Amino acid sequence: MIIIITEDTNLGAKSREDGRAFDELRPLKIEAGVLERADGSAYLEFGGNKILVAVYGPKESHIRRFQRPDRAYIRCRYNMAPFSVDDRKRPGPDRRSMEISKVTAEALQPSILLEKYPRALIDIFIEVLEAEGGTRCAGITAASVALADAGIPMKDMVVACASGKVNDQIVLDLSEVEDKEGQADLPVAIMPRSGEITLLQSDGSLNAGEFEKAVDLAVEGCQAISKVQQDALKKRYGE
C-alpha cells in the first residue's frame, strides 16, 4: 500500500467510503514481462482493477494509413472483458473504449522516440480483466511499463492517476462508487521526471481553486505510482 504523507489540511474531514484518506491510493502491484510471446508486457493490479498489457513492435505496418514516412505510428486497443464488470459488458469496441484507446495512444506518444522507426507500427493491447474505477489511468501506467519491457526507446515512463471531487472534498484515486456518485473526475497522465502533462481530462464541475488542487493531488499520486513502475522493472531486470 502506498501512502503519501502530506500536510494535513483536512483535519476533521470525513474519511472515504472504503476507509481511505483523501490522498491515499489503493493497493498497487505491477509486474513486467508476464507474456512470453509478446515483445513487451505488464500486469497491473490497482485496487479492484486487474489489467494485462501486451506490446508488439515496432514492426512493419501492412496498413498504409498507419504508415508515417518520418516516424512510427502507435495503435492502441483498450478492451474490457465481458466479465470485467458486475453486469456483463457487451464484447467488442464501443464509444467509450474507442475514446480511451485514442487518448491512451496520445498520452503515451510524447514519451516514445517515434522518429527512430519511420514507417513502423507499435501495437499496444490493453485488456481489462477486472474493473473497479480508474481503468484508463491504470491502462496507461501498465502500457508504459510494457513499452519499456519491449525495449522501445523512451524519454520517460508515462504514469497516470485520477483525482476528483466527492462529497465536496478533493480526493485522490477515485474508486468505482466515487467515480459514479462523485461530483467530478480528473484523470491526469504525466512524464514524472519532467512533470509534463500528457493527458488531462475532466468530467463534472470544479471551480478554479478545486481544479488546481485536484491537478496537484493527481500529480502527487502519479509520482508515487511512478516509483512502483520503476520497482517493477528493477525486479524484472535486476539492479
57 near another protein, judged by CB under 8 A: yes
Candidate ranges 11-19, 32-40, 92-100, 204-212; the one touching another protein (CB under 8 A): 32-40
Phi, psi of 171 (to 5 degrees): -130, 160
**CB of 151 vs another protein, minimal distance in Å:** 4
Distances (CA, A) of 225 to 26, 71, 92, 156: 10, 29, 30, 14
Place of cell 513492435: 57
Give the number of other Cβ atoms within 10 Å of residue 134's Cβ: 27
Nearer to another protein, 86 or 239 (CB): 239
239 near another protein, judged by CB under 8 A: yes
Q: Which of 54, 143, 150, 171 binds another protein (CB under 8 A)?
A: 150
Per-residue b or e along 50-89, where b marks 16 or more CB atoms closer than 10 Å to that residue's CB: bbbbbbbbbeebeeeebbbeebbbbbbbbbbbeebeeeeb
C-alpha cell recorded at residue 96? 467509450
83 near another protein, judged by CB under 8 A: no
What residues from 86 to 105 belong to the interface with another protein (CB under 8 A)? none
Nearer to another protein, 39 or 185 (CB): 39
Q: Rule CB under 8 A: which residues touch another protein? A: 33, 39-40, 56-60, 72, 111, 113, 117-120, 148-157, 191, 193, 230, 233-234, 237-239
